Amino acid sequence: MRQTIFGSTPPARRAFGLGDLLALLVVLVILYVGARLAFNAPDVVTGPTISLATQALPWYAALSLGRMTAAYILSLLFTLIYGRIAVYNPRAGQVMMPLLDVLQSVPILSFLPVVLLSLSAILPETIAAELAAVVLIFTSQVWNLTFAWFQSLTTIPRELHEVGRIFRLNSWLRFKTLELPFATISLVWNSIMSWAGGWFFLMAAEMFTVGQRDFRLPGLGSYLQEAAIQSDFRAVFWGLGTLILVIVLLDQLVWRPLLAWADRFKVEMIEDSTPPTSWFYDVWRGARLAHWLRTRLVAPVMERVDSYWARRFPMKTTAPLSKALPWWQIVLWLLLGGGLLVGAFRAGEMLLTLSLAQWGTIAWGVGATLLRVLAVLLLALAWTIPVGVAIGTNRRLAAILQPTSQIAASIPATALFPVLLLFMLALPSGLELAAVLLMLMGTQWYILFNVIAGASTIPEDLKHTAALLQLSRYDRWRTLVLPALFPYLVTGAITASGGAWNASIVAEYVEFNDETLQVTGLGAIIAQATAQGNFALLLAATLAMVLAVVLINRLLWRPLYDLAEEKYRME
């Protein structure tokens, strides 16, 4: 059954190439420039006064929600443009996909001080802090969206592509009527995950300090931090309550209606007997205002957009002839290449200031953190696959567990970590267990939401076929569920792996009860270098983490991506 439904063409593996080297070079130069600018940052930055008054919470919640929304809009635009170019332009994709591997592997929490200090050297502190917060949230939201979009584009059934060619769809109509609808369910679920991860890093961005530089921003994150510092448990309760209320409102007014609307794009021959529902979606769909907006505003605007893009991207009947690059593009590429070489040389000079002992410590830290990441992934896969399939295939269960999982994923693990430490430090190897647990709390949701998305897209006709054949539970999982989940599992595992490496920065180095606790690991080295302002060590450790994640992606996840694209395409 698996052969006829999902195909059996062997995958073509991508080897290391010039694109990987160029991507690493670009990131190295960016990190170096940021570190050099950080030396010119103000020595003292005075942050705002954070009020713990209850009446300040609505305004703080609005500020945090505004930063999240701005970052999400940027993430979605980046995803749709970047992923589509990488799929349909093979020459660009040779550089863009390795660059995406590198970018998603850059540890966000180690990059934040570089971004903040470099921006504060050229911009007013308040503007620099706001931009850095949006950049940090963007980098926490965008990668899983982009990988999900890329996975969807590469697994569109071939017969649907053929229908598009028969109807002579241009690029815009193919995007609007084929690609975006096919990817909608995956994008919605990964958007939920992006927002959950965004809340985690929003808290880190709003409460960030570097020595005498206070870059805190008014918002829910800084409110919760200030309440914890002052041991004001009443304020902590109101702050967490406000955060949970915002998450529940988003679930009821945004995500659940989107999931109910997106179910129409499910590829199946038989309609689901229990489709996802939303009271707000039902009310909105039947409202006169919604009808007026659809007929008087949305429809005319979309007609003009379709007309414009139809003229902008006409249907091509013949392949364009290859043209030589104009002279100004050649000059531009030469200048960029020269700048990269100069930046790489300067970065190399900074890295050479480190001793062999420091490089040995970094290598040992890579191995220790790698073992924790592997443990986290195995633990996450063990529970997210069965739970995610149950949520994705059982609507009644989803009505209860979907918002619960969103709330659990959105509550910052760092806010609960001090409480966990109180209990775990008394255990043998308690700090090691606590580090693994915090990394698990920050990354397991990437896999869970992708499994839910994959399970919810299994066509009803295939489920009925499995029932008619009276397949055992083992055979049903082997021939239907796991093959259907495989592309989503790979996407979730890639982002979860990168998230686990990032979470190691706060998990392996902790300041608790006026003392510093740390375990051996690359995350601890990055956190310690940040605290000490040792930019050379920070650059080296960050580069080591990037190289480790890129190697894992290229040697493990990328071949699995190729396997998902070729063998487990739903057709």
Note the pLDDT tens digit of each residue in 498-507: 878 888 887 8
Q: Which residue has the higher pLDDT, 285 or 425?
A: 285
Give the per-residue pLDDT at 528: 84
* Phi, psi of 517, rounded to the nearest 5 degrees: -115, 135
- Of 524, 514, 527, 412, give the one whose Cα is nearest residue 113: 527
Tell me the pLDDT of the chain averaged across its residues. 78
pLDDT digits (tens, 9 = 90+) for 214-245: 667 888 878 877 787 777 878 888 888 888 88
Instruction: State pTM to two decimals.
Output: 0.74
Domain hosting residue 183, numbered range: 2-276+354-567
For residue range 371-427, list pLDDT tens digits in order: 999 999 999 999 999 998 988 888 778 777 877 777 777 676 666 666 666 677 777
pLDDT at 472 over 70: yes
Q: Measured between alpha carbons, how far is 394 from 456 in angstroms, rounded to an integer?
A: 9
Tell me, what's the pLDDT at 2? 36
**Alpha-carbon distance 104 to 30, whole Å?**
14
pLDDT score recorded for residue 336: 73
Instruction: Give the model's confidence band at 5: pLDDT under 50 very low, under 70 low, under 90 confident, else very high.
Output: very low
Q: Is there a domain that residue 335 lies in? A: no
Asked if the model's pLDDT at residue 337 lies above 80, the reply is no
Q: Looking at 30-34, 155-159, 535-539, 551-555, which range is the least confident one?
A: 30-34
How many CB atoms are located within 10 Å of the residue 476 CB? 18
Is the residue at 342 inside a domain? no
Taking alpha carbons only, the member of 138, 136, 288, 313 closest to residue 215 is 136
Whether the predicted pLDDT of 75 surpasses 70: yes
Spatial contact of 414 and 456, defined as CB atoms under 8 Å apart = no
Q: Is residue 338 part of a domain?
A: no
Handedness of CA 105, 106, 110, 112 (dihedral sign): negative
- Per the domain annotation, does 559 fall within a domain? yes
The reply to whether 103 falls in a domain is: yes
Task: Find all residues with CB under 8 Å of 445, minimum gap 6, and list them.
Answer: 193, 196, 197, 405, 408, 409
* CA–CA separation, 186 and 452 (whole Å): 9
The DSSP letter of residue 265 is G
On whether the CB atoms of residues 410 and 196 are closer than 8 A, the answer is yes
In the chain, the percentage of residues whose pLDDT exceeds 90 is: 10
Q: Please report the pLDDT score of residue 377 as a whole number.
A: 93
- Local confidence band at 542 (pLDDT 50, 70, 90 cut-offs): confident
Per-residue confidence (pLDDT) for residue 70, from 0 to 100:
93
Return the pLDDT at 412: 64
Q: In the predicted model, is pLDDT for residue 308 greater than 60? A: yes
Q: What confidence tier does 370 reach under pLDDT thresholds 50, 70, 90?
A: very high
560: confidence class by pLDDT, cuts 50, 70, 90: confident
What pLDDT is attached to residue 360?
A: 92
Whether residue 348 is contained in a domain is answered as: no
- pLDDT score for 288: 82
pLDDT value, residue 115: 67
Residue 315 within a domain:
no
Statement: residue 69 has pLDDT above 90: yes
Question: How many domains is the chain built from?
Answer: 1
pLDDT tens digits, one per residue of 477-526: 888 888 888 888 888 888 888 878 888 887 888 766 667 778 889 988 98
Q: What is the pLDDT of residue 114?
A: 65
Dihedral class, residue 89 (left if φ above 0, else alpha if ψ from -120 to 50, else beta): beta
Does pLDDT of 181 surpass 60?
yes
Domain assignment present for 116: yes
In this predicted structure, which of 163-172, 211-220, 439-448 has the lowest mean pLDDT?
A: 211-220
Q: Pick the residue with more confidence: 195 or 340? A: 195
pLDDT of residue 409: 75
Q: Mean pLDDT over residues 118-142, rounded? A: 78
Give residue 492's pLDDT.
85
Q: Is the pLDDT at 364 greater than 90, yes or no?
A: yes
Helical ranges in 39-107 per DSSP H: 57-88, 90-105
* Residue 362 pLDDT grade (very low, low, confident, very high; cuts 50, 70, 90): very high
Phi first, then psi, for residue 315 (nearest 5°) are: -65, 125
Between 378 and 186, the more confident residue is 378
